[in-house]
Amino acid sequence: MQEGSWIDSDPGHGSNIAELAGIDARITELLEQIRQLRDRRNSLVPINRLPVELLVRIFSLAQDLENAEKDNFYNWVVVTHVSRHWRSIALQEGSLWRDIIYRQRLDTQRWSMESFHRSGSWNLSVHAVLRYSYEVDMISSILSQMHRIQSIDCSGILGLSKIQNLVQQLEQPAPLIEEVKLRNISDTQSISLFSGVAPRLSSLSLLATAIVWDSDGLMFHNLTKLELSSIPTPIRPQLDEILNLLSHTRHLESLYLSGAFSVTETSESSEFIHLPALSSIFIGASESECIPLLSSITFPASVQVDVRLSCLGHRNYNPQSFFRTLANTSSDRARRISHLDIRWGPYDTARYTCWDEDQEEQAIPRISISVYTASRCASKAQWLEATQALSFLRLRKLVIKGSEAEPFHVFSPFTTSTLLSTIITTDIFLPGFIQSIDDNARAFPGLLNLTISFSGEPYVRNYALKVSKKIGCDP
């Protein structure tokens, strides 16, 4: 007898198979009934009786909780595993999938494309960090739907292969785009961004990326925020082009320019450009770049100004022209300076933070200027002449800090400020402070509070005793 033939000869074998099949069918039927009962039970739970719109809002809030760190953004999808009802709602609601977040993690790589397919016809918000060419292809395929894109935040690596594919998508018209942030996308050619068609664009941020500046400025009419930094020198715009852009930005509120433009001998503006809505401006440039820009624009007196004036390589830098330009540009603010903050760093960084006298208690900054020089800032005569361009008659608080010892004359412009009642400094500036007192017996007539941070050096005790004796207070 062959192996297994005894089963075939069993008279009850056929009936057993039929019975097993019947049991399996019954189990399947009961499981389906249990599933239906569970669905029915879930439908009676109060949260599942909420309107679909409200459930979608709850799912959206779950997204917001994860959105604080975009690396974990797609963790919110666990809500789709709670019940069939929730999953059905989430998958059918395209607005929940409109944020495309791509990072260097396998789950975000998977979910970014999944979100794209599930978003339907909803407007898209794209956030991507690109390191490899295959990633460029993937994001380029998403940006091919530029007519749906509402915001772009994209970072790359200069010289990344296939980046031209991404550039081509960025040159499509973008009728719905509102916010754009591009970093390290193109350092060899200027991008014809959206072919000049982006009527809703309100925020533009470019780092190490240059664009073809629209001569008629139509794309920039609704800008409220503009940031340009580290633009490659070969394709860096001229000051004339920046000024032409600014002439079309009547709604601009925030302006940030650092290594953003070049100045030639012919760069000059025939008329002032007024920025009536401006609330803050940051300029990181050399003196030869900064002065022409500040000389060509006007803005409200309440604007917070932060200038990082790079003067590296100029051993005999004279800040006179810069201070005079600042005074002319912001004369109203200069007369109201009540708080001055000066800080020196590794490159002799002078930082001035001026505070609105009317809001001194809230300590709201109004002007902040940093001057970077390779050597000493200036001679005593140059320093005095330069700072006289700004009025310190209302100065009440002076902060001088830094990491390097500085020339004694740093305190000289403020010795006659009658309202100056508070000075905060560090021990390395004590010799300069003492020198100012020695030069003028009536220096700092209104001084009430002197705060000194000590490094613990033994010689500091002697300086402290000398200072306390000079101003008549306990060390």
Given a cut of 70, whether residue 407 has pLDDT beyond it is no
User: What pLDDT was estimated at residue 111?
Assistant: 81
In a domain, 255, yes or no: yes
Give tens-digit pLDDT for 124-164: 999 998 888 888 888 999 999 999 999 999 998 877 778 88
For residue 371, which phi and psi values (nearest 5 degrees)?
A: -120, 115
What Cα–Cα distance (Å) separates residue 287 from each residue in 281, 318, 334, 374? 16, 10, 19, 14
Check whether residue 278 and residue 342 sit in a common domain.
no
How many domains does the chain fold into? Answer: 3
Check whether residue 410 and residue 473 sit in a common domain.
yes
Q: Domain containing 76: what range?
A: 23-92
In a domain, 129, yes or no: no
In a domain, 242, yes or no: yes
Check whether residue 83 and residue 31 sit in a common domain.
yes
Given a cut of 60, whether residue 334 has pLDDT beyond it is no
User: What pLDDT was estimated at residue 376?
Assistant: 42
In a domain, 166, yes or no: no
Check whether residue 395 and residue 275 sit in a common domain.
no
> Lowest-confidence range among 235-249, 289-303, 339-353?
339-353
Given a cut of 90, whether residue 406 has pLDDT beyond it is no
Q: Of 70, 92, 114, which residue is a domain's last?
A: 92
Give tens-digit pLDDT for 236-252: 899 989 998 999 999 99
In a domain, 168, yes or no: no
Which residue matches tokens 């100056």?
420
Q: Dump strand ranges (E) for 27-138.
A: 99-102, 124-129
Given a cut of 60, whether residue 15 has pLDDT beyond it is yes
Q: Of 51, 70, 92, which residue is a domain's last?
A: 92
As a whole number, mean pLDDT of residues 85-99 equals 89
Check whether residue 348 and residue 292 sit in a common domain.
no
Check whether residue 252 and residue 309 sit in a common domain.
no
In a domain, 433, yes or no: yes
As a whole number, mean pLDDT of residues 332-336 equals 45
Check whether residue 242 and residue 312 sit in a common domain.
no
User: Is the sign of the CA dihedral 268, 367, 254, 185 positive or negative?
Assistant: positive
For the full predicted model, state whether its pTM sits above 0.75: no
In a domain, 350, yes or no: yes
> Lowest-confidence range among 19-28, 85-94, 389-398?
389-398
Check whether residue 348 and residue 475 sit in a common domain.
yes
Arithmetic mean of pLDDT over the chain? 76
User: What pLDDT was estimated at residue 324?
Assistant: 64
Check whether residue 43 and residue 59 sit in a common domain.
yes
In a domain, 451, yes or no: yes
Check whether residue 403 and residue 346 sit in a common domain.
yes
Cβ neighbours for 144, distance < 8 A, ≥ 6 positions apart: 169, 172
> Lowest-confidence range among 91-105, 294-308, 344-358?
344-358
Check whether residue 309 and residue 242 sit in a common domain.
no
User: What pLDDT was estimated at residue 287?
Assistant: 75
Q: Of 92, 111, 146, which residue is a domain's last?
A: 92
